Structure 1
Amino acid sequence: MFGSSSSNNSSSKAASNSSVGVDTLIGRQTEILGDVRFTGGLHVDGKIKGKVIASADKAAALSVSEHGTIEGDVRVPNVVLNGVVTGDVHASQKIALSSKARITGNVFYRLIEMESGAKVNGQLVHDDGTGASANFSATAAAPAESDGARGAADELSEARRVKGIVNG
């Protein structure tokens, strides 16, 4: 995605699998207040306070460096994250979370790659394109109210099992 094969940065490695180049760069000293709509490739080294939305193009891609932050929802088909997102992330094609990636919000994805050290404080929701979603909690939450079908012990056991799968 960056066109540079000399970098050892893990987000560059993950991004090199994509054929979309960087059309727009938000520099490290730049802060944008408001929504960002783009086509093609967007790389964020700075800060965005607002939604980040790509066109309907399935090849559109967002990469966020370890210095980049987004405070708002993200709706981009392909995401490579090594920075911070506070908001829900909707990656209709693929999301790659590098070791320094931090998400506080839910992640909706079709295909996910997650390096050791990446953190998601929210739910991972798989979308296989059929409209049916599998929902996984990325953190152990307090047991929900039971309708009598499952006891609190079963719910806690299930939360620990899911946490082990996600973090494991």
Structure 2
Amino acid sequence: MFNMKKQPPIKSLIADGSLIQGNVSFSDGLRIDGQVVGNVRAKDDVASILVISETASVQGEIIADHIIINGSVKGPVTARMLLELQPKARIEGDVDYSALEMHPGALITGQLRPILEGEEKPTLKLAANNQ
């Protein structure tokens, strides 16, 4: 389902050492290596991907189609298509997802709520430990 469409390109970067205070709106792809204090939202009309790296932190609401987290988030997260939680992911807030991939070591302090279309069950994938 998710591999049929080509991933949007990551066109923007918030670099390590950068601090953004305020809301961020983006289309296509965004990678965050720095710090954002504010909401991070992808536009609804285009496929989107958001990468929050190991060095990144976000304090605010996050909304995008495909979200990959390996840093820290304080606030609610909504992944309209797929949420990937890498081993160093730390989320303090409720999480809404259509599909979820969670690696060992990732932590969520909050509720997990599937986004259901009709009566479909959400897709859950457990990541294998590659060690």
Letter in 2 for 1:51: N
For residue 100 of structure 1, what is the aligned residue in structure 2? 88
Q: How many residues align?
A: 118
Where 1:128 maps in the other structure, the secondary structure is coil
For residue 72 of structure 1, what is the aligned residue in structure 2? 60
**TM-score for both structures, normalised by structure 1:** 0.66
Q: More helix by proportion, 1 or 2?
A: 1
Give the RMSD, CA atoms, in angstroms.
2.0
Residue deviations 1:21-73 (CA, integer Å, cap 9, x gap): 21100000110000000000000000000000000145201001000010001
Task: Find 1:114's aligned residue among 88, 102, 109.
Answer: 102
For residue 20 of structure 1, what is the aligned residue in structure 2? 8
Residue deviations 1:120-146 (CA, integer Å, cap 9, x gap): 000000112238998xxxxxxxxxxxx
In 1: Cα distance, 2:121 partner to 2:12 partner? 32
Gaps of 5+ in 1: 1-16, 135-168
Residue deviations 1:88-118 (CA, integer Å, cap 9, x gap): 0000100000000000000000000000000
In 1: Cα distance, 2:8 partner to 2:81 partner? 13
For residue 40 of structure 2, what is the aligned residue in structure 1? 52
Letter in 1 for 2:99: L
Contact 2:21 2:38 in 1 (8 A): yes
Letter in 2 for 1:62: L
Q: Which has the larger radius of gyration?
A: 1
For residue 123 of structure 1, what is the aligned residue in structure 2? 111
Higher relative contact order (CA 8 A, sep 6+): 2
Residues 1:85 and 2:73 are matched in the alignment: yes
Q: More strand by proportion, 1 or 2?
A: 2
Gaps of 5+ in 2: 123-131
Percent of aligned pairs sharing the same letter: 34
**TM-score for both structures, normalised by structure 2:** 0.84
Residues 1:42 and 2:30 are matched in the alignment: yes
